[in-house]
Amino acid sequence: MILLKRILLAGSIITLLTILGVWASNLIVENATGDKVFNSTQQIPHNKVGLLLGTGKMLSNGYVNLYYRYRIDAAVQLFKAGKVDYLLVSGDNSRKSYDEPSTIKADLIEKGVPAERIYLDYAGFRTLDSVVRCKAIFGQKSITVISQQFHNERAIYIAKNKGIDAVGFNAKGVSARYGFKTMVRERLARVKMMLDLFFGKQPKFLGEKITIG
C-alpha cells in the first residue's frame, strides 16, 4: 500500500512538472517572439535570405499536406514582394526515397521563383538544425523564417539564442481539427527545445560553408 502511494505521488509530481514545463515554455516563447512574426509583406522588414522550413508534401491518405502547400505559397509571396532575395530551403533528406528540399524547390520553381535564387539544405532534420546551419554553414546572421506562426515562434526563439536576428513570415494556418495533433506535438517540442538549448544541443551534421548569392 505504501509503495502504491509512493508510485501515485511520483506520477502526480511528474505530471504536474510536465504541465508546468509546457505552460512555461509556451509563455516564454510567445513573449520573446510576439513582435517578430508578421502576416503582411508590407510590414515585414527585408532580409537577404528567407529560411523556408520543410515538411512532407503528401499525407498518408494521399492528399497534399496543407502545412506544405501554405508554406510554399508564403515563400513565393514573400519573394515576389521583394522582401527576400534568396530562399534557403531546409528539410529532411535522411534517405534516398525522401527528399523534402528538392521537392520544395521544384514547386517553388513551378510558381515562378528562379532556380538560381533557391539554395538547399539537405540536413535540416529538426528546426534547431535548420536554424543553426543557416548561420554556421550558410553564413546568415539575419534571416526571415517562413512557416506557420507556431513554428516561426519556436525557430525565432532558437535563432535569438544562437546569435541570429530573425523575424518570421507566417504561412496560412490550418483548422483546429486538421492541426490538432501538430499543435499537441508543438507544445512538447517547445519543452524539448528549452532542454536542447540548455544542454547546448548541436545539429546532427555541419560541414563545409556555402555562400549564398
Q: With contact defined as beta carbons under 8 Å apart, do 29 and 157 qualify?
A: yes
For a pLDDT cut of 90, what percent of the chain falls above it?
78
pLDDT at residue 21 above 80?
no
The distance between the two most distant Cα atoms of the chain, rounded to a whole number of Å, is 69
> 206 in a domain, yes or no?
no
pLDDT at residue 103 above 90?
yes
| Residue of 30 and 16 predicted with greater confidence | 30
Q: What is the pTM of this model?
A: 0.90
| Residue of 18 and 39 predicted with greater confidence | 39
pLDDT band at 37 (very low <50, low <70, confident <90, very high): very high
> 208 in a domain, yes or no?
no
Q: Which range marks the domain in which residue 128 is found? A: 2-199
Average pLDDT over residues 104-133: 97
* Distance, CA of 162 to CA of 73 (rounded, Å): 28
Q: What's residue 96's pLDDT?
A: 77
C-alpha cell at 133: 546551419
CATH number of the domain to which 41 belongs: 3.40.50.620
Q: Enumerate the β-bridge partners of residue 212.
A: none
> 126 in a domain, yes or no?
yes
Order of strands across the sheet with 37-38? 37-38, 165-171, 142-148, 47-53, 84-90, 118-121
> 159 in a domain, yes or no?
yes
In angstroms, what CA-CA distances link 153 with 30, 81, 115, 201?
A: 7, 22, 28, 19
The total number of structural domains in the chain stands at 1
> 204 in a domain, yes or no?
no
> 178 in a domain, yes or no?
yes
Write the DSSP symbol of residue 64.
B
pLDDT band at 9 (very low <50, low <70, confident <90, very high): low
Closest CA to 165 of 131, 118, 206, 198: 131
- H helix intervals, the chain: 2-33, 66-80, 100-110, 127-136, 149-161, 180-199
